[in-house]
Amino acid sequence: MLYLWLKALHIISMVCWFAGLFYLPRLFVYHAQSEDTVSKERFSLMERKLYRGIMGPAMIATLVFGIWLISLNPSAYFTQGAWMHAKLTLVVILIGYHHMCGAQVKRFARGENTRSHVFYRWFNEVPVLILLAIVILVVVRPF
């Protein structure tokens, strides 16, 4: 029963993390397009609260519950193909993306953004591709 609760909590925290990973770059798009000081300050506040208040805790919870799940039966995850190794590689890349978002939040807050809204529209697609790959790896286990 513990395994099922951990799995549910892992999925819930992962959904919350990805919600932030999808929304924060969209805020960057709007922030990069904004012209007035009031809008820029509002977006900076929204970005900071999303990053620190939702995305950070959700990422940590996702990692804690995921590691806990693996610790219950590591051989089940690492001896039945390379899908878990591929998934964990994508998770490491996702953590890097998360921290890139955090660095960008700080740049916007300092008024040092040099990128256009078009860049952020493409930047916003990265977590979508990673999510697709992770779900396929976990469900299909192609290798």
3-state secondary structure of 125: coil
Low-confidence stretches of the chain (pLDDT beneath 70): none
Stated as kind and residue range, the H or E segment containing 87 is helix 83-110
What amino acid is encoded at 79 in this protein?
T
Question: Would you state the pLDDT for residue 78?
Answer: 87
DSSP letters for 19-63: HHHHHHHHHHHHHHH--SHHHHHHHHHHHHHIIIIIIHHHHHHHH
Closest CA to 50 of 115, 131, 109: 109
Question: Would you state the pLDDT for residue 101?
Answer: 98
Taking the C-alpha atoms of residue 102 and residue 113, their distance in angstroms, rounded to an integer, is 13
pLDDT tens digits, 58-93: 999 999 999 999 999 999 888 888 999 999 999 999
Is residue 106 annotated as involved in ligand binding? no
Q: Is-contact 41 108, C-beta < 8 A? A: no
Is residue 99 annotated as involved in ligand binding? no
Distance of CA 41 to the CA centre of its chain: 24
